């Protein structure tokens, strides 16, 4: 991996980590479509999962008191069932197909997040399990597990601080849970560790940038900007 690619990785991760700091989600959905244009998905997905771990730990130390333990347990247990299947898909599907699939998926998920979710479900357990199953599969195969959970939280009108903290805790747990499967399937390669090396400064700077922007930028405005970036990156991944 040359320095030009390394600089590109740094910039993509910095932008994504900044979004994560503002909204509690977005690290994966912003970085993955941008990175799969330049690198194989089998390098990008495990690399982004590894890069999320220090960011997630730093954030959850601050927000641990706001985590909704019951919802977190339901989501993580249901997601864990689908992680092995998602990791197997990542290993078995060829790079070009994965790149195109991730590109179109990111576009669909980003646009889906802009929809109005309607009234809450009267009973939340079944929707939580369903969202967790989908998120677990997406987490291991693409590293992007946030949209189904964000849609559920918006529909159920979860209190924002608890919503954000629970999402961060979920991403941290499911990312750590995916790593043994990546290791077993030989997906933690030298190229993946190079991506992590170039991305770590972006994660560090993005953590502080996100904290600074959180008090100065409208979450709604940043959400629309992020959606535009994801759609553009998804189109590039799908069509190039």
Q: What is the pLDDT of residues 106-163, one digit of tens each?
A: 777 777 766 666 788 888 899 899 989 988 888 888 877 777 887 788 788 888 778 8
pLDDT for residue 99: 66
Contact 123, 73 (CB under 8 A): no
Would you say residue 201 has pLDDT above 90?
Answer: yes
Select the more confidently predicted residue: 144 or 73: 73
Q: Which are the contacts of 144, defined by CB distance < 8 A and separation ≥ 6? A: 28, 29, 32, 102, 105, 106, 109, 138
Which alpha helices (DSSP H) does the chain contain, by range?
3-23, 27-35, 41-63, 69-92, 95-112, 125-142, 146-156, 160-184, 190-214, 219-239
The pLDDT-based confidence of 189 (bands split at 50, 70, 90) is very high
Using alpha carbons only, give the angle 102, 55, 232 rounded to the nearest 5 degrees.
30
**Whose structure tokens read 């991403």?**
171
Give backbone dihedrals phi and psi of 163, rounded to 5 degrees, phi first.
Answer: -60, -50
The residue extents of the domains of the chain are: 3-239
Q: How far apart are CA 138 and CA 121, in angstroms?
A: 23
pLDDT for residue 84: 92
């Amino acid at each position: 991996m040359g320095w030009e690619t390394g600089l590109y990785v740094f910039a993509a991760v910095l932008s994504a980590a900044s979004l994560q700091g503002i909204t509690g989600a977005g690290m994966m959905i912003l970085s993955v479509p941008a990175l799969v244009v330049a690198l194989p998905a089998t390098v990008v997905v495990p690399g982004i999962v590894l890069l999320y771990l220090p960011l997630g730990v730093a954030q959850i130390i601050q927000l641990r008191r706001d985590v909704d333990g019951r919802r977190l347990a339901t989501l993580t247990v249901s997601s864990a069932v689908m992680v092995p299947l998602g990791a197997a898909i990542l290993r078995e599907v060829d790079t070009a197909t994965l790149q195109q699939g991730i590109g179109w998926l990111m576009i669909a998920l980003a646009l889906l997040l802009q929809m109005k979710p309607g009234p809450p479900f009267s009973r939340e357990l079944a929707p939580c399990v369903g969202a967790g199953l989908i998120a677990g599969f997406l987490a291991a195969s693409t590293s992007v597990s946030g949209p189904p959970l964000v849609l559920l939280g918006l529909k159920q009108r979860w209190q924002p601080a608890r919503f954000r903290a629970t999402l961060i805790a979920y991403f941290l747990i499911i990312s750590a849970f995916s790593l043994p499967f990546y290791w077993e399937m030989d997906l933690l390669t030298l190229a993946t560790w190079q991506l992590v090396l170039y991305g770590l400064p972006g994660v560090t700077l993005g953590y502080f940038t996100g904290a600074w922007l959180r008090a100065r930028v409208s979450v709604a405005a940043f959400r629309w900007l992020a959606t535009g970036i994801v759609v553009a990156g998804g189109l590039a991944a799908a069509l190039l």
